Structure formats: C-alpha cells, structure tokens
C-alpha cells in the first residue's frame, strides 16, 4: 500500500518505520527538511538496532528506500491510499491537515488520526465525507509497542473500520476495537481510573504515594508504581490528559496535586523531580520497601479499573477480550482486567467501590457497574 504519515515527530517517525518495515511505500511529511532529516536519522538508528538483533527480513537500506520525504502537503502524495496524521495535539491544526488531505488524496483513501485525546468525530468535521475518518492510536514507541486502538468516530463506516483493522494486522500490530468515541478510548480510561483514585487516596490522607506504589508493584504486579509511572510519562502530560478527559465528560476525581506540581515545574523524570527525584533527569527504578504493600488493600486501586471495564462493556465501547488485550499490551499489566476480577471476587470489588465512594464524599465515579 501507499501510506502517508503526516508529522515526523516522536510518533510519526516511528509509525513510518513500522509501516515501511511491513513492505509498504511511505510518504513521510513534515513542515521542514531539517525535521525530516532528523526523523530519518532516528529511523536509521532504530532499523540498524533491529537488524543487529535479527528482527528484519530486509536490510535497513531497502526499508529506508521505501520512505519518501515530503515537505508540506502537496501533489506528491496524491496517490496515498491511507494517511495517518501525527501532528501536535491541537484540534484546529488537525482539522487543517484533514481538510488539505481531503483535497489531495483519492476519494476513497482512509484518513486516520493518531490523536490520544481529541474526539475523532470532531476532527472529522473538517472533511465532507466523514465515513472515512478513523482513529489509529499507536503507543509510544510504535516500533516496540504492539497495541493500536482503532477508534470509530460517530460517522466512521464499517468498511473504513474493516480496512483499517486489516491494515493494522498486516503491519504486525495488534488492533483492538473502540466502538465509541469516548474520552481516553479504552487504555487511558482504565489507567486514569487508577491514577485519579491513587491521587484521591493520597489527598484524603488514606495512604501516601510510596504505599500506593508498593501496592501497585508488589500486590497487583504492575511494572511500575502508579506515581512512578506518572513521573515517567510526565506529571504535566497526566495533568493535561486527565483534565481534557474530565472536561469532555469523564467523571473522575480531579487531582489537584497534578495541577500544583505542573505549575511548579515538578514534571517527573524529565525535570529531575516529581513524586520522586531523578538525578541527571534519568529514570531510575524507585526503591519501594516490600512491607509498605501490606498497608493498603490492592482492591482500592484496581476496583475502579474493573468497574470502568464493566461500564465500557455495557455501553458497547469495547469487548471484554479487547479491554484485556489493551491493558496487557498498552499498559504492560501482567494480566487482564477479567483475571483481576476473577481473583479478587465481585463482592469484594463492589465493597471496595462503596468504600471509595465514602472516602471521596460520594464521588459518582465509584457508582458500580458490576
Ligand atoms: N508522544 C506520545 O507518547 C504519543 C502517544 C500516542 C499518541 N500521541 C499523539 O500523536 C500525535 C503526535 O504526537 P507526537 O508526540 O509525535 O508530537 P511531536 O510534537 O513529537 O511531533 C509532531 C510533528 O508534527 C509536525 N507538524 C506540525 N504541523 C504539521 C503539518 N501541518 N504538517 C506536517 N507536519 C506537521 C511537527 O513539526 C512535528 O515534527 C498527537 O496527536 C499525540 O497526542 C502521542
């Protein structure tokens, strides 16, 4: 296939690499030659590492020869059958790009966006035929992360969903279907349930952040503590994503701590200080004493995630199977939400939700859907 990737930043260059590795022709577009050259350097570096590890069937040169660099969006890309937009997370900018894509590409080309928080439906308003607009939410870094959330906007056609799904399988990624354009799609909804609850428990004085992180790591088996993960991905990123989701109707505890830390510049690993400190602004695994994990019931953290999964299934957002795949591949959970549910027991989960509702002074987000 001929695939256009718009934006050659953190995500775009990785998506272009993945698409080219799978044998497709790629147009990689950005606003300047310098940005494109730097993207190619990163792709070259990544391809050579994959090649050394024996993970490529072709030479890096052959794969690179399929990536054509394009400054701006012009006639050069007009035979692309699919485009994946990965420009910054600004609705107006994305709309401008989509409107230009509609002018340039064939009428049946699929127009996908890699947005992580904007509604697909609102981006689609920029084009006349909204049936061909869809979300393809890759995870960072796209070369290593298997998961792609395929998000259906209000007007996306079945045909667009099917073709996009098949394409994602062909580029050796694992798609899950998000059938409704809800804030946070599947993976971020589950994650934000846990993060906002963790924050609520700290702000209400029930546990400190180290206790929560010890519980997450040692009792739930998560790869990182919750606050450690927030530091890793950026306190500011978590603040902006959660605020945007709440603004768009995601009912969750508003974490003041994230706002205050963002304003103070305590952004986590990248600023050297967040919930923990990181010498030289580099991530180091946080030292968490095991005994702390006995100080809080793990149900307090995982019950809201299980409840969220139930809400999504009830509303037809995603299937149980896809939610399980999403948390395993998108968040590196050791098991799916349904495994946690089975192990912990429905009644206990419901009791934990009631308790969380009480602690949060009646937070609606703890209404049970089980
Ligand atoms: N970074 C992540 O971890 C991550 C993960 C999943 C999804 N996303 C989403 O992917 C998208 C891109 O994020 P990113 O982190 O790669 O951003 P980025 O800032 O690293 O890259 C964006 C690129 O788009 C280019 N650009 C801007 N306007 C353009 C235009 N009109 N035409 C072509 N290129 C243009 C910029 O020059 C830049 O190189 C966003 O929607 C973001 O929410 C990001």
237 pLDDT band, cuts 50/70/90, is: very high
Indicate which residue's Cα is closest to atom 21 of ligand 1: 9
| Mean pLDDT for the stretch of residues 332-340 | 97
Model pLDDT, residue 159: 98
Distance 171 CA to ligand 1 centre (A): 20
- The side-by-side arrangement of strands in the sheet containing 2-6 is 67-71, 25-30, 2-6, 82-85, 110-113, 133-138, 147-152, 174-178
Distance 85 CA to ligand 1 centre (A): 8
Distance 118 CA to ligand 1 centre (A): 13
The catalytic residues are 137
Pocket test for ligand 1, best of 83, 87, 116 (most atoms within 8 A of CB): 87
Determine what percent of the chain is predicted with pLDDT higher than 70: 100
Q: What would the CATH number be for the domain defined by 187-366? A: 1.10.1040.50
Domain boundaries, the chain: 2-178, 187-366
Q: What is the mean pLDDT of the chain?
A: 97
Residue pair 42/68 in contact (Cβ under 8 Å)? The answer is no
Atom of ligand 1 nearest to the CA of 113: 41
Model pLDDT, residue 42: 98
Ligand 1 site residues, Cβ closer than 6 angstroms: 6-12, 29-31, 35, 86-89, 93, 97, 114-116, 138, 140
Pocket test for ligand 1, best of 6, 8, 11, 326 (most atoms within 8 A of CB): 11
Atom of ligand 1 nearest to the CA of 73: 32
Model pLDDT, residue 290: 96
Pocket test for ligand 1, best of 5, 6, 8, 9 (most atoms within 8 A of CB): 9
Indicate which residue's Cα is closest to atom 25 of ligand 1: 7
138 pLDDT band, cuts 50/70/90, is: very high
pLDDT, tens digit (0-9, with 9 covering 90-100), for 250-263:
999 999 999 999 99
Distance 187 CA to ligand 1 centre (A): 19
Distance 337 CA to ligand 1 centre (A): 30
pLDDT, tens digit (0-9, with 9 covering 90-100), for 185-229:
999 999 999 999 999 999 999 999 999 999 999 999 999 999 999
Atom of ligand 1 nearest to the CA of 85: 11
Pairing of the two strands 133-138 and 147-152: antiparallel
Indicate which residue's Cα is closest to atom 7 of ligand 1: 116
Peptide bond into 141 cis (omega under 30): yes
What distance in Å separates the CA atoms of residue 41 and residue 328, rounded to the nearest whole number? 31
pLDDT, tens digit (0-9, with 9 covering 90-100), for 27-81:
999 999 999 999 999 999 999 999 999 999 999 999 999 999 999 999 999 999 9
| Mean pLDDT for the stretch of residues 333-346 | 97
pLDDT, tens digit (0-9, with 9 covering 90-100), for 47-62:
999 999 999 999 999 9
Model pLDDT, residue 369: 96
Atom of ligand 1 nearest to the CA of 89: 41
Indicate which residue's Cα is closest to atom 3 of ligand 1: 140
Pocket test for ligand 1, best of 15, 38, 86 (most atoms within 8 A of CB): 86
Distance 11 CA to ligand 1 centre (A): 6
Atom of ligand 1 nearest to the CA of 32: 37
| Mean pLDDT for the stretch of residues 305-318 | 98
248 pLDDT band, cuts 50/70/90, is: very high
Specify the CATH architecture of the domain 2-178: 3-Layer(aba) Sandwich (3.40)
Distance 86 CA to ligand 1 centre (A): 4
The CA-atom distances, in angstroms, between 164 and each of 22, 114, 136 are 15, 13, 8
């Amino acid at each position: 296939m001929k695939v256009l990737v718009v934006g050659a930043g953190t995500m775009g260059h990785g998506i272009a690499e993945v698409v080219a590795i799978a044998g497709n022709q790629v147009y990689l577009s950005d606003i300047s030659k310098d940005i494109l050259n730097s993207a190619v350097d990163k792709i070259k570096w990544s391809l050579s590492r994959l090649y050394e590890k024996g993970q490529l069937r072709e030479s890096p040169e052959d794969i690179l020869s399929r990536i054509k660099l394009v400054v701006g969006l012009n006639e050069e890309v007009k035979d692309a059958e699919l485009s994946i937009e990965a420009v910054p997370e600004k609705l107006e900018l994305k709309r401008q790009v989509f409107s230009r894509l509609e002018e340039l590409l064939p009428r049946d080309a699929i127009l996908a966006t890699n947005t992580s928080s904007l509604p697909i439906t609102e981006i689609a308003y920029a084009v006349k035929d909204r049936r061909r607009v869809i979300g393809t939410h890759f995870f960072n870094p796209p070369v290593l992360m298997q998961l792609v959330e395929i998000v259906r906007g209000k007007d996306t056609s079945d045909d667009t969903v099917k073709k996009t799904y098949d394409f994602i399988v062909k580029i050796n990624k694992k798609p899950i279907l998000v059938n409704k354009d809800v804030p946070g799609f599947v993976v971020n909804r589950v994650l934000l349930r846990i993060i906002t609850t963790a924050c609520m428990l700290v702000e209400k004085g029930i546990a400190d952040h180290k206790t929560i992180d010890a519980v997450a790591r040692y009792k739930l088996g998560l790869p990182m503590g919750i606050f450690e993960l927030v530091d890793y991905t950026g306190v500011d990123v978590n603040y902006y994503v959660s605020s945007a989701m709440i603004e768009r109707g995601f009912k969750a505890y508003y974490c003041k701590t994230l706002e205050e830390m963002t304003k103070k510049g305590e952004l986590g690993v990248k600023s050297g200080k967040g919930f923990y400190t990181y010498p030289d602004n580099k991530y180091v695994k946080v030292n968490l004493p095991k005994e702390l994990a006995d100080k809080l019931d793990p149900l307090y953290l995982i019950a809201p995630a299980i409840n969220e999964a139930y809400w999504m299934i009830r509303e037809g957002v995603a299937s149980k199977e896809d939610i399980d795949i999403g948390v395993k591949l998108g968040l590196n959970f050791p098991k799916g939400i349904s495994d946690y549910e089975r192990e912990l027991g429905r009644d206990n989960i419901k009791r934990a939700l009631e308790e969380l509702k009480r602690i949060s002074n009646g937070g609606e987000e703890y209404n049970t859907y089980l």
